[in-house]
Amino acid sequence: KKADTKDKYAVLERYFGYRSFRRGQEDVVDSLLSGRDALAIMPTGAGKSLCYQVSALLLDGVALVVSPLISLMKDQVNALTAQGVKAAYLNSSLNDAQFDKALRNMANGMYKIVYVAPERLKSSRFIRAATSIRISLIAVDEAHCVSQWGQDFRPSYLNIAEFIAELPQHPTIGAFTATATTEVKQDIVRILGLRDPLEVTTGFDRPNLFFSVIRTSQKSKQLLYLLFSRMNNSGIIYCSTRKTVEKVCALLYDKGFSATRYHAGLSDEERRKNQDDFVYDRKRIMVATNAFGMGIDKSDVRFVIHYNMPKNLESYYQEAGRAGRDGEDSDCILLFGHQDIQTAWYFIDHMEPNPELSDEQNEAFRKKEIERLGHMIAYCKTRECLRAHMLRYFGDSADDRCDKCSNCRSKMKTFDATIESQKILSC
C-alpha cells in the first residue's frame, strides 16, 4: 500500500516532532513504502533509525528491526512507547516468561515495531510467532555486521537470511549502515539477499566537524591542554587499550576533571552505569576503548579526541563521527605519535585468526588490515586537507580545501591561539 506524502509528514511530526526529513531519509522511506528493498549508507548521526521507524508506522503489519545493540533497543523502545508507538524488544535481557509474553503480544498484533537481537531469529518459538503474523518490513540496523570484511562481523547476522527464508512471503528489507566500502556493501546485498535495492548514500561529509591531527610525543600534556580549553563541554577520549584508558582516566581524576571510563574489562554493571553517567551528563568526559559508542545517541558530544591512532580510517571516522550529531560545530582531534605505528603493527601481528574463516580468508583479511593501516598512517602524516583525504578514501568527491581542518588552517596561516599553542606543545 502506497502511503501518500501527507501521511509521511504527519507521522514525522506527530511521533518525532520534526517538520522535515534530513538528506536521504525520504528516499529510503519512499522506497520501503513502495515495497522496494533499500540499502541506506549514511554516516553516524545522519538519522538512520527514523527511516525505518517512519516506514514501520505507515505500513500494515509489524516491522522487525534487527539490531546488535541491547542498550539501543531499550532506549528506542522507551522513546517510541513514550510517543504512543506500540513497540517491544526481544533480546537476552528478557527471561523466558518475559520473552514468551512479548511473543504472544506480537502474535496478537499488539506491536507495530519489534526490535530483535540476531541470535533470537533462530529460536523456533520466535519463528513460529513471526510466521503467524504479517511482517511489513525487516530493518537490519548496523547491517555491516553481516560482512566478515567489516570491523564488527557478527556470525549471528548470518541468521537473518535463514530467518527470512522461513517466512511465507519475502518481506521488504531495509539495510542500514555507516560503512561504505565496496566489499562490505556487496556482502550486505548478497548475504541479506536484497532484491534490486535502492541504494541511498548521503555522502560522508559532516560539515560541522572540525578535523585536526596533532603530531606530538607528549600526549598527556597535549590532552590536558585541549581539555582545559573545553571546560564546559561533553566529549569522548578514545584510547587503544584498556591500560591506556585507566591511565588517562586517572590523570583526569587527578586534575579534577569530571570523567568516567568504559572498556571490556569492566563488569556489565559498571559499564552500564558509566555509560549512563556520560549520556545523562553526570560525567562530562568519557575515556574509552572502541568498545564504547556504537548505537549511543548522545547528540551534544562537542569533541572526540583520539589519544591513540585507530587501526584504520573506517574506525576513525565512525568514532570521530560521534561528535556533533546535533549539527553544532564539534572537534575531532587525533593525537599522533610515532609509537602509534608500532602499536598498530603489534595488533596486526597478534591478531587472532577468525575460526569461522578459512586460512586463505584469514590471510586475505590480514593483508586488508595492513592496507587499511597504511591509509590511516597516511591521514596522520598528510599535509593536505584532512577532510578531502578522508572523503576521497570513502569514495566521495571533495574540494581540495575545506578551510576547517588543521591542515587547511595552518595553510591559511591564521594565528589562531590554539594552533600556536599546539606548535609549542608538539615536537
Alpha-carbon distance 99 to 91, whole Å?
A: 8
* Residues between 319 and 338 with contacts to ligand ADP, criterion CB under 6 A: 325
In whole angstroms, the minimum distance from the beta carbon of 57 to ligand ADP comes to 14
Q: Under the criterion CB under 6 A, does residue 44 sit at the interface with ligand ADP?
A: yes
Q: Which does 129 bind (CB under 5 to 8 A by kind): Mg ion, ligand ADP, none?
A: none
Q: Which does 21 bind (CB under 5 to 8 A by kind): Mg ion, ligand ADP, none?
A: ligand ADP
Alpha-carbon distance 364 to 373, whole Å?
A: 14
In whole angstroms, the minimum distance from the beta carbon of 399 to Mg ion comes to 28
Of 281, 273, 333, nearest in space to 307 by CA: 333
Q: Under the criterion CB under 6 A, does residue 45 sit at the interface with ligand ADP?
A: yes
162-170 LR contacts (CB < 8 Å, sep 24+): 162/121, 162/122, 163/121, 163/122, 163/127, 163/130, 164/138, 164/192, 164/193, 166/127, 166/130, 166/131, 167/130, 167/131, 167/135, 168/131, 169/135, 170/195
Q: Under the criterion CB under 6 A, does residue 22 sit at the interface with ligand ADP?
A: yes
Cα angle vertex 199, ends 195, 204, to 5°? 150
Which residue is it, cell 586488508? 368
The residue ranges of DSSP E strands in 91-147, in sequence order, are 113-116, 135-140
In whole angstroms, the minimum distance from the beta carbon of 399 to ligand ADP comes to 24
Q: Under the criterion CB under 6 A, does residue 42 sit at the interface with ligand ADP?
A: yes
Alpha-carbon distance 376 to 225, whole Å?
A: 25
Burial class (CB in 10 A: 0-12, 13-18, 19+), 207: exposed
How distant is the alpha carbon of residue 210 from its chain centre?
19
Which residue is it, cell 546488535? 68
Q: Which does 409 bind (CB under 5 to 8 A by kind): Mg ion, ligand ADP, none?
A: none
- Grid cell digits, residue 140: 537490519
Selected range binding ligand ADP among 45-53, 211-219, 239-247, 388-396, rule: CB under 6 A: 45-53
Burial class (CB in 10 A: 0-12, 13-18, 19+), 245: buried
In whole angstroms, the minimum distance from the beta carbon of 142 to ligand ADP comes to 9
What residues pair up with 305 in beta bridges, in sequence order?
Answer: 237, 333
Q: Under the criterion CB under 6 A, does residue 297 sit at the interface with ligand ADP?
A: yes
Q: Under the criterion CB under 6 A, does residue 50 sit at the interface with ligand ADP?
A: yes
Q: Under the criterion CB under 6 A, does residue 48 sit at the interface with ligand ADP?
A: yes
Q: Which does 47 bind (CB under 5 to 8 A by kind): ligand ADP, Mg ion, none?
A: ligand ADP
What residues pair up with 332 in beta bridges, in sequence order?
Answer: 211, 304
CA quadruple 152, 54, 70, 103: dihedral, nearest 10: -120
**156 vs 382 by CB, closer to Mg ion:** 156
What binding mask, one character per residue, do residues 98-117 give for ligand ADP by CB under 6 A, x or -? --------------------
**51 vs 313 by CB, closer to ligand ADP:** 51
Alpha-carbon distance 321 to 330, whole Å?
A: 10
Q: Under the criterion CB under 6 A, does residue 206 sit at the interface with ligand ADP?
A: no
Selected range binding ligand ADP among 14-22, 151-159, 195-203, 263-271, rule: CB under 6 A: 14-22
**18 vs 225 by CB, closer to ligand ADP:** 18
Q: Under the criterion CB under 6 A, does residue 9 sit at the interface with ligand ADP?
A: no
In whole angstroms, the minimum distance from the beta carbon of 333 to ligand ADP comes to 21
Binds ligand ADP (CB under 6 A): choice among 7, 9, 15, 18:
18
| Site residues, Mg ion (CB under 5 A) | 48
Q: Under the criterion CB under 6 A, does residue 203 sit at the interface with ligand ADP?
A: no
Q: Which does 389 bind (CB under 5 to 8 A by kind): Mg ion, ligand ADP, none?
A: none
Q: Which residues bind ligand ADP (CB under 6 A)?
A: 18, 21-22, 25, 42, 44-50, 297, 299, 325
